[in-house]
Amino acid sequence: MQIKTQDILNKWKLYTLTNDTGMTVSFLNFGGIITDISVPNRYNQLENVVLGYKNYVDYEKNPYFFGAIVGRVAGRIQDASFTIEDQLYTLVANEGGHHLHGGDGGFHQVIWQASPFQTDDTVGVKLSHRSLDGEGGYPGTIKVSVTYTLTNNNELILDYSGTSNKTTVLTMTNHSYFNLNGNLAASIHNHHVTIESDEFVELDKELIPTGKKINVAKTPFDFRTERKLADGINSLSAQNRVANHGYDHYFILNQTNRPNVSVNEETSGRVMTIKTTQPGVVMYTSNNLEDDLELAEGKSKPYLGVCFETQASPASLHHDDFPPVILKAHELYEKQTVFSFGIKG
């Protein structure tokens, strides 16, 4: 187990975690951005399975949130406003009239304090940040941390915590785009996905939740048994079309002892499972990813990666009966998501 540190652009640090099996995870203290996760394929070849820029300077803007910590609130807040305890809060509208992923000065664009650590069978870095009352329009001075831990079982554990001196809103996630082919050898069309979910959230044409939950049965959103992502990408279903031919939807997770999400890719043999204490996950199939971004392994294009954004639901700020994002003053926010990598037997 080891940690390496590298200076980037004379202002950031790049941390690379390596376990005893050779798996590596690299990330910046800027935005907590995961730039590379290298895991073996069926032939024991290490290859990168996340999208990242070829040039680090491109992370400064990072309009697609590649690999970043997202917050204070992951997802879209309708009309860039919400009410807590009869007080209206107005945020910056950075996607049409709505607020997306914490706004322009969100957690993805700050330098986090980093504290590396190591044990006999883990290696990691704790990232910490303090966001002041009123930043981005959000109430409360909030102290948050995200800890990245790599184990010898090829698990990447993400532990999130936070407290606020005022009642506020908080639901953080990581916005990595996964491609299990390795080194962007192909699109994600043939990724087989299982999601333990009976319901997903309907979106309007601006990708804002309508407040309606839809049963997945007999739809391209039924991942209770594994199906290819191509099913939804090629579907004429209204909800796949509203997301620009793919998925950008919140799935409400069933509480089971099985992994919440499983992904496998037959050519590489890679399998990724996700277990989370969050109540739901947004699956986004990079439908809107533009062509010709300079990525580490080549040019970008739509459907080159799939995000699994484990989180609560910002729809709860405008609709009843959705997983809440409100954090009471001095209450502890504590969530965990575990990404495990292996080979299909």
d(CA 275, CA 124): 19
Residues 6+ apart with CB under 8 A from 62: 31, 33, 53, 68, 108, 109
Q: What is 184-210 written as a DSSP string?
A: T-S-STT-EEEE-EEEEEEE-TTS-EE
d(CA 206, CA 204): 5
Q: Is 99 a catalytic residue?
A: no
CB 114 within 8 A of CB 124: no
Classify each residue of 183-193 as buried b or exposed e, where b means 16 or more C-beta atoms within 10 Å of its C-beta: bbebbbeebbb
Which residue of the set 155, 196, 199, 309 is catalytic? 309
Phi–psi pair at 26, nearest 5 degrees: -115, 140
Which residue of the set 99, 175, 192, 249 is catalytic? 175
d(CA 93, CA 208): 13
Q: Is 318 a catalytic residue?
A: no
CB 4 within 8 A of CB 15: yes
Residue closest to 60 by CA, chosen among 23, 12, 97: 12
Residues 6+ apart with CB under 8 A from 171: 71, 72, 73, 74, 75, 278, 311, 312, 313, 314, 325
CB 191 within 8 A of CB 307: no
d(CA 313, CA 115): 30
d(CA 240, CA 151): 37
CB 71 within 8 A of CB 170: yes
- Catalytic positions are 175, 309
